[in-house]
């Protein structure tokens, strides 16, 4: 099951509490970027283009745990850069688990096998392995031969050691559906617990600007992919919420809620979201919530947001919508059950 029952119940309780408190804006998943440095240089990456002195920096364990406490989100995702390069990453994870948060550590898996001993299996802890395609397609996306095979071995080792593993796939223009299908089939065979998928965001700083999807192309690609899944009765267990998948197919229209997945990194709290890196920073979470001009962002309001459909802007909207009424909760339950059949 892509989202375990205990996690769904815990997040449901958190959302219900926010409703009772009549909060209009609240965080759901903290994006905690411990560093921007990486051992790969993917052409679609918008995180590794910082100058050398910034790439050398990382946040301290204390700062990471304070940020999570300050924000209060029940989930923490640790992207990067490559988090396994951080010298105290296991202490950050351990501290977040002690705070009773659900923690997802994203990794390209190159260092995973040799670092597995640092992490104890925990029902609240998940490795999310970056897999952008099957076989050579993945190697091409990350610009290094042999990466797919290394990631597969690392996934097998992590599952064998008792860890929960999911994958995350960023889709770009021209991605062959059959290649994606091969990837998802292979990952499910390996025993991963969920597939996370998102269209690539057109980072201004990414070297490859040609292959980002616009909204119409995103709708077409996801319609084709999900039609393929339905027609071939594929048992792909997506970690994304069913309503976000509808959004990607163009069946639902949402506005982004960037405060749902706020970002903390070496610069502080990034305004307004994980993706836009030139809009300023706040020193505290409270300052981020109070001083960010959220109304100036989102599709139709800001040209930088024109084609954005990424999970970090729209997944919190979809999750909150799914919990907004009893009818929608039943709809989500039915969608989840039919996807698992
Ligand atoms: S693995 Fe991730 S952080 Fe590293 S270069 Fe690729 S996209 Fe960027
Ligand atoms: S649409 Fe929202 S999530 Fe996407 S770039 Fe704009 S502010 Fe960020």
What mean pLDDT do residues 178-203 have? 92
Mean pLDDT of all residues belonging to the chain: 92
Write the CA distances from 282 to 32, 269, 286, integer angstroms: 14, 5, 8
Q: Tens of pLDDT along 115-139?
A: 999 999 999 999 999 999 999 999 9
**Is residue 177 pLDDT above 80, yes or no?**
yes
Nearest to 284 by CA among 96, 71, 75: 71
DSSP state of 153: H
Chain position carrying tokens 């490859």: 208
* Average pLDDT of the residues in 142-171: 97
Higher pLDDT, 15 or 284: 284
SS3 state at 24 = coil
> What tokens were used for 8?
């769904």
Mean pLDDT of 53-62: 96
Distance CA 138, CA 165 (A): 18
How many angstroms separate the Cα of 333 from the Cα of each of 255, 314, 320?
A: 23, 20, 14
213-245 confidence digits (pLDDT tens): 678 888 999 999 999 999 999 999 999 999 999
Res 39 pLDDT > 90: yes
Identify whether the C-beta of residue 1 lies closer than 8 Å to the C-beta of residue 340: yes
CATH superfamily placement of domain 5-340: Aldolase class I (3.20.20.70)
Q: How far is the CA of 320 from the centre of ligand 1 (A)?
A: 29
Q: Where are the domains of the chain?
A: 5-340
> In ligand 1, which atom is closest to the CA atom of 39?
4
DSSP 8-state class, residue 200 = P
Residues lining ligand 2, Cβ inside 6 A = 256, 258, 272-273, 275-276, 297-299, 305, 308, 310, 312-313
Structure confidence at residue 327 (pLDDT): 86
Q: How far is the CA of 264 from the centre of ligand 1 (A)?
A: 17
Higher model confidence: residue 1 or residue 62?
62
CA–centroid distance, 279 to ligand 2, in Å, is 11
Give the pLDDT confidence score for residue 233 in this predicted structure: 94
User: Ligand 2, residues 218, 256, 303: which to mutate, most atoms within 8 A of Cβ?
Assistant: 256
- Neighbour order of strands in the sheet with 281-282: 194-199, 164-171, 125-130, 102-107, 75-78, 29-32, 263-265, 268-270, 281-282
Of all protein residues, the one whose alpha carbon is nearest to atom 4 of ligand 2 is 308
């Amino acid at each position: 099951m892509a989202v375990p029952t205990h996690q769904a119940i815990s997040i449901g309780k958190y959302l219900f509490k926010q409703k009772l408190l009549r909060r209009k804006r609240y965080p759901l998943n903290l994006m905690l970027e411990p560093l921007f440095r990486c051992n790969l240089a993917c052409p679609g990456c918008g995180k590794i283009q910082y100058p050398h002195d910034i790439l050398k920096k990382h946040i301290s364990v204390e700062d990471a745990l304070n940020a999570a406490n300050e924000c209060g989100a029940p989930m923490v995702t640790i992207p990067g850069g490559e988090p396994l390069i951080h010298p105290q990453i296991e202490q950050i994870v351990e501290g977040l688990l002690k705070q009773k948060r659900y923690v997802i550590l994203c990794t390209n898996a190159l260092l995973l096998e040799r670092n597995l001993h640092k992490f104890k299996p925990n029902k609240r802890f998940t490795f999310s392995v970056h897999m952008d395609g099957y076989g050579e397609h993945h190697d091409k996306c990350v610009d290094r031969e042999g990466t797919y095979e290394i990631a597969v071995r690392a996934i097998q080792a992590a599952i064998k050691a008792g860890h929960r593993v999911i994958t995350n796939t960023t889709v770009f223009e021209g991605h062959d559906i059959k290649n994606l299908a091969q990837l998802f089939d292979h990952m499910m065979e390996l025993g991963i617990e969920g597939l996370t998928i998102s269209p690539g965001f057109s980072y201004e700083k990414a070297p490859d600007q040609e292959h980002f999807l616009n909204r119409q192309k995103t709708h077409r690609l996801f319609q084709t992919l999900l039609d393929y899944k339905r027609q071939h009765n594929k048992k792909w267990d997506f970690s994304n919420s069913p309503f976000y998948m509808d959004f990607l197919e163009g069946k639902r229209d949402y506005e982004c809620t960037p405060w749902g997945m706020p970002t903390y990194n070496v610069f502080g709290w990034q305004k307004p979201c994980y993706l836009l890196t030139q809009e300023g920073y706040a020193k505290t979470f409270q300052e981020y919530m109070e001083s960010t001009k959220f109304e100036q962002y989102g599709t139709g309001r800001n040209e930088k947001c024109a084609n954005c459909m990424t999970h970090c802007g729209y997944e919190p909207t979809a999750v909150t919508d799914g919990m907004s009424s009893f009818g929608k909760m039943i709809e989500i339950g039915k969608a989840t059950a039919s996807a698992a059949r």
